[in-house]
Amino acid sequence: MRGKIAFEEHFNLSQFDKDTPKYVSELAMAEIRTRLLDVAETRLQDMDASGIAYSLLSLTAPGIQAVLDPQEAVTLARQANDALAEIVAASPARYGGMAALPLQDPRAAITELERCVTELGFPAVMVNGFTSTPDGDGAWYYDHERYLPFWEGVESLGVPLYLHPRNPLPANSGIYDGHPELTGAVWMFTVETATHALRLMTSGLFDRFPGLAIILGHLGETLTFTMWRIEHRLTYMGDLRKFSKPLGDYLRANFYVTTSGNHHTPALNNALTELGTGHVLFSTDYPFESMREAAEWFDNADISEADRRQIGRDNARRLFPAMPAHVGNLVPAARG
């Protein structure tokens, strides 16, 4: 399929490069770090070869979320967003931006998001997991009441928030001791992000702000597979519940999932069955995954052509109403 839109597509800036964790082997990570910094050559070539007409770029993890000093986080987020706006301005027909936010200071975060939406034209935000506390030993998850003004602002602005993984804190990683092969995207990311999403659901956040739209990558971090059992066992938890609906209702109403880094047709069909076609979208997870491999799988997956068009492009146009108007009239990229 030509003319696809993708939006778990990462980039980096030189000032953050030294802090990029090693997610894979040294050799593979060296190539990834090079591709993270490239927005003008190889990336565009891969987009052309993969039939991807437009990408929303986001600062790679952990990004701003790992900055310990709140004021520094505010400054760096602004710098990162300004740099991304320059990248977009240089290639507006191919790139858009997802805001990076200093959630160390929730009110500063919503101020920066307002600037990104109203001045820079970014149609969404990507948050790289929990935000580190100033001492580096703790984590702020976004179900905490300190974030209620932030969520109110996100709902008011009408922009989706992509909840992207990061590694848990070392203090929370004991289960992986002696098994480094399970860290990062192999398994650690999934457990961390799925748990964070469940915290949001069970906190009552979506009862308070029903207009929120949260995006999860990797076809939902396993939640479409496990939601029946989660709901089933929650019926035995009695008065511990802080939320008013079955969690599956929030998953289907407030969450969207992308195909980033999960190029498996049975998993795609499960997401389509559980969420409906309107809540599943194409993405690749470049450069941690191969853009061409993701597109080759998606273009040939055993789904209807109507679903392919909806997932590959049309859903993104609906989910990101602030996306520039020209994206709706893209000239599809030619196959390379």
> Catalytic one among 48, 285, 302, 307?
285
Cβ within 8 Å of residue 269, ≥6 positions away: 303
The residue extents of the domains of the chain are 4-329
| pLDDT number for residue 335 | 38
Tens-digit pLDDT profile for residues 34-64: 999 999 989 999 999 999 999 999 999 999 9
The CATH number of 4-329 is 3.20.20.140
| pLDDT number for residue 329 | 63
Position 237 pLDDT exceeds 60: yes
CA dist 187 and 222 (Å) reads: 11
β-partners of residue 132 are 139
Position 331 pLDDT exceeds 70: no
- DSSP label of 50: H
| pLDDT number for residue 60 | 95
Question: Average pLDDT for residues 131-152, to the nearest whole number?
Answer: 97
CA dist 198 and 240 (Å) reads: 14
The fraction of the chain above a pLDDT of 90, given in percent, is: 86
Tens-digit pLDDT profile for residues 62-93: 999 999 999 999 999 999 999 999 999 999 99
What angle separates helix 70-90 from helix 106-118, to the nearest 10 degrees?
10
285 is catalytic: yes
**SS3 of 218, please?**
coil
Q: Quote the pTM value.
A: 0.95
> Scanning the structure block, which residue is given the tokens 């893209």?
330
Position 239 pLDDT exceeds 80: no
Cβ atoms of 7 and 98 within 8 Å: the answer is yes
253 confidence band (pLDDT: 50, 70, 90): very high
| pLDDT number for residue 241 | 81
